[in-house]
């Protein structure tokens, strides 16, 4: 068990550019989540996948954001036409099943995005 892995850990980009983050969940975890965390706040849910299917999206996920999990393993989160308000830490998490069903959600170390 190598934990949830995220790449890159830090990204500085100019406003208007596109960025992509990658997440490798814990092996055999069928659920994968994306959260966003700004300074001084708790993580906020963005979206989740069960295997390759994206089953829920928060209204925080504007149409500039897109997430994929093409083979039910790793996932990517792309932000198009970045804005300064997108500056945050993007957290990926995974679990074997639903938290309501007794499963723990494990978080990665996060990807910091700074839009200048």
- Positions touching another protein (CB under 8 A) are 4, 31, 33, 40-45, 48, 55-56, 58, 91, 98-102, 104-110
Sign of CA dihedral 2, 19, 84, 68: negative
Cβ closer to another protein: 48 or 79? 48
Q: How far is the CB of 94 from another protein (least distance, A)?
A: 12
**C-alpha gyration radius of the chain:** 13
Cβ closer to another protein: 67 or 108? 108
Q: How far is the CB of 12 from another protein (least distance, A)?
A: 16
Q: How far is the CB of 88 from another protein (least distance, A)?
A: 13
Q: How far is the CB of 16 from another protein (least distance, A)?
A: 27
Whether 20 contacts 77, CB under 8 Å: yes
Cβ closer to another protein: 3 or 16? 3
CA distance 41 to 58: 17
What does the DSSP 8-state code read for residue 53? E
Bridge partners of 33, per DSSP, are 48, 93
Cβ closer to another protein: 19 or 49? 49
Which residue, 116, 93, 90, 112, is CA-closest to 104? 93
């Amino acid at each position: 068990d190598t934990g949830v892995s995220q790449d890159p850990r830090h990204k500085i980009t100019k406003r208007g550019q596109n960025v992509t983050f990658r997440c490798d969940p814990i092996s055999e975890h069928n659920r994968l989540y994306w959260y966003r965390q700004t300074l001084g706040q708790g993580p906020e849910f963005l979206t989740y996948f069960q295997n390759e299917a994206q089953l829920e999206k928060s209204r925080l996920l504007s149409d500039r954001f897109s997430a994929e999990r093409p083979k039910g393993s790793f996932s990517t989160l792309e932000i198009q036409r970045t804005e300064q308000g997108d500056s945050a830490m993007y957290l990926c998490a995974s679990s074997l099943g639903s938290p309501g069903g007794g499963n723990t959600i494990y978080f990665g170390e996060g990807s910091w995005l700074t839009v200048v």
